[in-house]
Structure 1
Amino acid sequence: MRLHRNLVFAAIDSLHLIFNEQKQADKVLRNTLKRDKRWGSRDRGFIAETTYDIVRWKRLYAEIAEVKEPFDRGNLFRMFTVWCTLNGIKIPDWPQFEDTPTRRIKGRFDELSKTRKLRESIPDWLDELGVKELGKKWDKEIAALNKQADVVLRVNTIKATVQEVQNELSDLEIATETIKGYPQALKLKERTNVFTSDAFKKGFFEVQDASSQKVAKMLDPKPGMRIIDACAGAGGKTLHIASLMENKGQVVAMDIYDNKLTELKRRARRNGIHNIETRVIDSPKVIKKLVGKGDKVLIDAPCTGLGVLRRNPDTKWKMSPDFIEEIKQTQIELLNSYSRMVKPGGELVYATCSILPSENENQIKAFLKRDEGKDFTFVREEKILPSQSGFDGFYIGLLKKN
């Protein structure tokens, strides 16, 4: 592979913003990739994948390169050299690479890889927490979370069949395959930008990981029901629920952020879905009005996002032990408050994209012991581990109200 100066510089600029200015990686890259209209899909792919790779392996690469934060430009080039060397890419003869000690890189890599927190490139506290919560499973899970995520689509069955979407994308030379056990899912055989396709613009599909698609399945929404999605965000799962309801009945999509619900409305229009009503949770009254009104309620709770580290590798550098304690407290409050919206005989689904028992099954067990959970019965749960599924880590618990 021959390196091009403007693409390497774009990656270095992006890394500076992510590491030194604590900007979100996906937002940084969205802006960076708009910089030059002449860049083709391969160019943009190089910038995005290289940047994400260096973000993912930040601790390991910094140790190998012997640099410390905050990283100046020279430090970032040294880390880039580590990436090149470990990926078998020839270092160009540019002034930026003059002081880079390439000879020692592989030796240091082998040496440092003997220690898990360095090999898997994670903070000390996160490694300790993983061992505490998952024991011997932690080794496999953190290794799986460092692999690049597949791109999975969810076909919008209101507008198209899985076969129709496959054919449309095939005409664009985008090869996909079905995934056993996921009826609406298609996996891309190679990463590519599907958002520019007509099939996407016509609302035939959304990009949604296979594990995330299991949440609506556990909720099992039926046409004519009133379903409440209490933490809807921009609505990936809301749209799935609505499509399974065949546009019949009502989905009440709620969130504390108005801008996310605005994005959901835009997506719903593209999807041809019109049974969603959005409500901003700006006071306790909003919840009070819906107490006992939902056939089914989904609490897709805010969490550490540990299960989706493969697609958001910068999360591990922004998280802290304090943040985890705060998020667990939020989960308790949401279960206590939002569960009141389930009507007698109705069902509650609690989901997170975390693999930590303290955010998942332990929260459900504790809820069932509290006064707020005394009317609920545990039905079943699904723990999706990245090492076993090959997809994101998720927890989905189903409870029934007596």
Structure 2
Amino acid sequence: MRLHRNLVFATIDALSEIFNEGKYADKVIQKTLKRDKRWGARDRSFIAETTYDIVRWKRLYAEIAEVKDPFSRENLFRLFAVWATLRGIDLPDWKQIEDTPTRRIKGKFDALSKIRKYKESIPDWLDEMGVKELGEETWTKEIHALNNLAPVIIRTNTLKANRENLQEILAEEDIQTRVLKDYPEALELEERANVFRTKAFKDGNFEVQDASSQLVAHFLNVEPGMRVVDTCAGAGGKTLHLAALMENKGQIIALDIFGNKLKELKRRAKRAGAHNVETREIDTTKVIKKLHNSADRVLIDAPCSGLGVLSRNPDAKWKLQPEFISKIKNTQAEILDQYSKILKPGGKMVYATCSVLPSENQQQVENFLKREEGKDFELVKDQKILSSETGYDGFYMALLQKK
């Protein structure tokens, strides 16, 4: 593989923004890829994949290169040289990467690969927390799985297409997919591609949504004609799935504290042909109070550490802090107490997170059931999804019923 100077320099610029300015990797990469109209698909995928790779393995590469945060430009080139050496890529004789000690790099890689926090490239505190919560063996497998590149999974929008038909339409656009048998609407791309450019996407025939995430709407057990409240709807991935499962019949009220996310949901709902969705911004406590005892189903897709989705957000490893995790657990408990009041007697509620930590999952549900607010609820069933067992995102969901 021959390295092209302008692609490598674009990668270094992107890494500088992510590591030194604390910007989100996906946003930086999106912007970087628009820099040169002459870049083809292969050029763009080199920049995106290399940047994500170096972000994912930052701690390991920095340890091998003997450099520390914040990274000077010279040190970013050293990280890049480590990345290239470990991939067996011949380094060109540019002054930025001359004198790269390739043998020493390989030797240090072998030595550090015996220590989990370096091998899996994670902060000390996260490694300790993972072991404490999941145990040595499970955590070792899970963090290893979460360092793999996430596959691209799409969810057929059954309001407009069926899965077999969608597979054929995509094949005509040169996108090959395979059916995932335990996930009724899911297709997995055989090769990564920009599916957002396809006619099928513009026509609203599918959404990009991880396989684990696609299980949540099914878990809520909705039926056409129900009144459903999605309390932390965000941009609406699960809201739109619920609309499809309800065949556009009944009502879905999508709530969020962020109005801009709900605007995006409205755009997506229009494209998907989901007509039974109404958005409401939670700008005062009245919004929730008005809904007390009124819903057949409530979904709480709670804000969380996001540890189950590290494979698609590797920069979260460096942005997460232990204080944030303690804070988010308090938020989860408050949300459960407040939003559970929306459910009417006999109704069902799902509490879900994209975390693998029991303290954000089973323990939150157990604590809720012991509190005054949870005394009328019982746990029907729950499901823990580990990335190491499925190859998809780590998730948790609990189905509760109000007596």
> TM-score under structure 2 normalisation?
0.99
Match of 1:212 in 2: 213
- Partners in 2 of 1:84 and 1:349 — Cα distance? 45
The residue type equivalent to 2:86 in the other structure is L
The residue type equivalent to 1:357 in the other structure is P
Task: Please say if residues 175 and 188 of structure 1, whose CA atoms lie closer than 8 Å, have aligned partners that are also in contact.
Answer: yes
Give the 5 Å matches for 1:3-402: 3-135=3-135, 136-402=137-403
Runs of at least 5 residues in structure 1 that lack an aligned partner in the other structure: none
The residue type equivalent to 1:318 in the other structure is K
The residue type equivalent to 1:111 in the other structure is A
Q: Number of aligned pairs?
A: 402
Task: Please say if residues 146 and 309 of structure 1, whose CA atoms lie closer than 8 Å, have aligned partners that are also in contact.
Answer: yes
- The Cα offsets for residues 285-305 of structure 1, whole Å up to 9 and x where unpaired, read as 000000001100000000000
Moved more, 369-378 or 27-36: 27-36
SS in structure 2 at match of 1:232: coil
- The Cα offsets for residues 113-140 of structure 1, whole Å up to 9 and x where unpaired, read as 1111010000000000000000021000
SS in structure 1 at match of 2:154: strand
SS in structure 2 at match of 1:190: coil
- Partners in 2 of 1:187 and 1:109 — Cα distance? 33
The residue type equivalent to 1:26 in the other structure is D
- Give the CA deviation at 1:93: 1.6
- Partners in 2 of 1:129 and 1:321 — Cα distance? 9
- The Cα offsets for residues 274-316 of structure 1, whole Å up to 9 and x where unpaired, read as 1100000000000000000110000000000000000000001
The residue type equivalent to 2:33 in the other structure is L
Task: Please say if residues 41 and 192 of structure 1, whose CA atoms lie closer than 8 Å, have aligned partners that are also in contact.
Answer: no
The residue type equivalent to 2:128 in the other structure is E
SS in structure 2 at match of 1:211: coil
- Partners in 1 of 2:375 and 2:218 — Cα distance? 25
- Partners in 2 of 1:195 and 1:40 — Cα distance? 16
SS in structure 2 at match of 1:195: helix
- Give the CA deviation at 1:238: 0.5
The residue type equivalent to 2:383 in the other structure is E
SS in structure 2 at match of 1:76: helix
- Give the CA deviation at 1:20: 0.2
- Partners in 2 of 1:198 and 1:38 — Cα distance? 23
SS in structure 2 at match of 1:217: helix
- Give the CA deviation at 1:268: 0.5
- The Cα offsets for residues 136-163 of structure 1, whole Å up to 9 and x where unpaired, read as 2100000000000000000000101111
- Partners in 1 of 2:43 and 2:227 — Cα distance? 46
Percent same amino acid at aligned positions? 67
Task: Please say if residues 234 and 263 of structure 1, whose CA atoms lie closer than 8 Å, have aligned partners that are also in contact.
Answer: yes
- Partners in 1 of 2:169 and 2:107 — Cα distance? 48
- Give the CA deviation at 1:101: 2.1
- Give the CA deviation at 1:99: 4.0
- Give the CA deviation at 1:103: 2.4
- Partners in 2 of 1:253 and 1:383 — Cα distance? 25
Task: Please say if residues 41 and 193 of structure 1, whose CA atoms lie closer than 8 Å, have aligned partners that are also in contact.
Answer: no
Moved more, 300-309 or 101-110: 101-110
- Give the CA deviation at 1:4: 1.0
- Partners in 2 of 1:293 and 1:342 — Cα distance? 6
- Give the CA deviation at 1:185: 0.2
- The Cα offsets for residues 214-254 of structure 1, whole Å up to 9 and x where unpaired, read as 00010121110010000000000100001111111111000
- Give the CA deviation at 1:395: 0.1
- Partners in 2 of 1:8 and 1:196 — Cα distance? 26
- Partners in 2 of 1:102 and 1:78 — Cα distance? 11
- Partners in 1 of 2:286 and 2:61 — Cα distance? 50
Task: Please say if residues 133 and 356 of structure 1, whose CA atoms lie closer than 8 Å, have aligned partners that are also in contact.
Answer: yes
Q: Tell me how large the CA RMSD over aligned residues is.
A: 0.7
- Partners in 1 of 2:162 and 2:143 — Cα distance? 36
SS in structure 1 at match of 2:242: helix
- Partners in 2 of 1:45 and 1:275 — Cα distance? 38
The residue type equivalent to 1:298 in the other structure is L
SS in structure 1 at match of 2:46: helix
- Partners in 2 of 1:379 and 1:390 — Cα distance? 26
